[in-house]
Structure 1
Amino acid sequence: MFPLQDSTPRRCPPIVTWGLIIFNSLIFIFETTLPSPVLEKFFFMFGLIPAKVTHPDWARSLGLDVLGLWPFLTCMFLHGGWIHIFGNMWTLWIFGDNVEDVMGPWRFLFFYIVSGIAASLVHIFVNPNSTVPIIGASGAIAGVMGAYYTLFPKARIVIFFPVFFIPLFFEVPALFYLAFWFLEQVFSGALSLASPVSSGGIAWWAHVGGFLFGMLTNRLFILSRQRSCKRFKDEYRTFGLLDPYDRW
């Protein structure tokens, strides 16, 4: 299932969401100019290697900086291919603007970064001996999706679902789509633990960790005062603000 759009219109220009998409895209374009050996070294320098954190002696033997924390930040702005970055940026475009509306641009940016760090920590906890750099914005975006899950329970998502090369389009509740996506990550993550060779190089548990972080902590980042932008009926009640459309 591939999401095409959601039913919740944005109220304010999603400046940070646009900025993140542009910034990630520019870095990816830079990656495409690097020869393969240089790009591999680039990923090892700025991607996050779990074993470097859990086994500093091993990292020192390879000349890696074990004290630098920058990879926790830089890894979420790197991508491994066109499909990787397109899928991530499209998902951020679908869900990021509405979450940014609720949080405000600067709180949203902080929430995005912290979600990505939380996702990386969960991945390290589950895969402490991995020597493969983790890259990509999907952990941070999973946090955005987790926030959307609780903030917009009445929203609907238009999805694309091909069946035997026949393109089908459905409108489903956002709660259903996001819950299905989350359970898919948990199931795939469990399979990756049972058979690491079948994980496909995807940090499933980073997705799980980012989603749970966003779902459980998003209210800490929401503006507590009444905003100038009007609220919509598929936005959840937050901080006691009265929603004239709320029927819960």
Structure 2
Amino acid sequence: MNTKLTEAIKHLIIVNVILFVAPQLLKMDFTNILALHFPQNEHFGFWQYVTHMFMHGSFPHLLFNMYGLWAFGTPLEKMWGRNKFLFFYFSVGIGAGLIYSLVNYYQFNGVYQQLVELGLSSTEIQHILNSGQYNDSIIPLSNKEMSEFYSLYHTPAVGASGAVYGVLVAFGMYFKDAKLALIFLPIPIAAKYFIPLILVGDLFFGMTRYSIGNIAHFAHIGGALIGFLLAWYWKNNQFKRWN
């Protein structure tokens, strides 16, 4: 395997590393500005659909995403060229963020409408969202439902995972027989089997209560979906390299 960094991937990794290290060195928190917030949150900005892709919550998070970008993105950039790869990367990353926001809004709005039907005004609901406090004697929803409602509004998304999932799917479409291995199942599996397995896992954890940690599964699914559609279109229309 050629380990040389291609131009676009090299610069993407550099920017990601800088935005991970700089806030710690400067003792500044850029989360409210650069992370992707819920659209109705006061800290939301449309630019966050791009900037959240360069923010990471921990070093393992950064390392995992940058490894995936390098491992699966390198052959794609060599095949497509720098500009086409960058267009793809940002398209799937932004698309992942949009789909993530739509799913969150659907879940949030479901609880919001229940609160409206119980007679709460928009001001009262906003007070709950601001304070995290409510009268459980007049709100028959479970603590878990209300906690998730509060979390959807306040918890920002960070990371390049959505874009990397799009890259992973495109890699699988062009290099379907490449052998890959899971960390917890170190048996080489062809990409055409490995990648659907990963996506089914994300879909399962995203739609059930079994997810471990605060993982944006639907951002992964969104990136994979946009990546599939774009790569499928390019592959079937034989788009040329964009240098």
**TM-score clears 0.5:** yes
Q: Larger Rg: 1 or 2?
A: 2
Deviation for aligned residue 1:221: 5.1
1:76 aligned onto 2:76? no
Deviation for aligned residue 1:13: 5.8
Count residues with an aligned counterpart. 195
Q: Structure 1 stretches of 5 or more lacking a match?
A: 1-8, 163-168, 228-248
- Provide the rounded CA distance (Å) in 2 between the counterparts of 1:160 and 1:171: 10
Q: Structure 2 stretches of 5 or more lacking a match?
A: 109-151
> Deviation digits for residues 101-160 of structure 1, max 9, x if unmatched?
222111111110110110011111111242211110001111101111211112112444
> What is the percent sequence identity of the aligned residues?
31
- Provide the rounded CA distance (Å) in 2 between the counterparts of 1:87 and 1:183: 19
Question: Counterpart of 1:153?
Answer: 176
Structure showing the higher strand proportion among its residues:
1
2:90 maps to amino acid = I
Question: Counterpart of 1:183?
Answer: 200
The verdict on how the C-alpha distance between 1:151 and 1:181 changes in structure 2, with shifts beyond 3 A counting, is same
> Deviation digits for residues 67-108 of structure 1, max 9, x if unmatched?
x42111111000001111011111111101011122211111
1:25 aligned onto 2:38? no
- Provide the rounded CA distance (Å) in 1 between the counterparts of 2:87 and 2:241: 20
The verdict on how the C-alpha distance between 1:180 and 1:26 changes in structure 2, with shifts beyond 3 A counting, is same
Question: Counterpart of 2:188?
Answer: 171
- Provide the rounded CA distance (Å) in 2 between the counterparts of 1:83 and 1:11: 20
1:142 maps to amino acid = Y
- Provide the rounded CA distance (Å) in 2 between the counterparts of 1:186 and 1:201: 15
The verdict on how the C-alpha distance between 1:115 and 1:46 changes in structure 2, with shifts beyond 3 A counting, is same
- Provide the rounded CA distance (Å) in 1 between the counterparts of 2:35 and 2:23: 13
TM-score (normalizing by structure 1): 0.70
Q: Which one of the candidate residues 227, 236, 242 is aligned to 1:214?
A: 227
Deviation for aligned residue 1:161: 3.3
2:62 maps to amino acid = I
- Provide the rounded CA distance (Å) in 1 between the counterparts of 2:234 and 2:17: 26
Structure showing the higher helix proportion among its residues:
2
- Provide the rounded CA distance (Å) in 1 between the counterparts of 2:46 and 2:241: 37
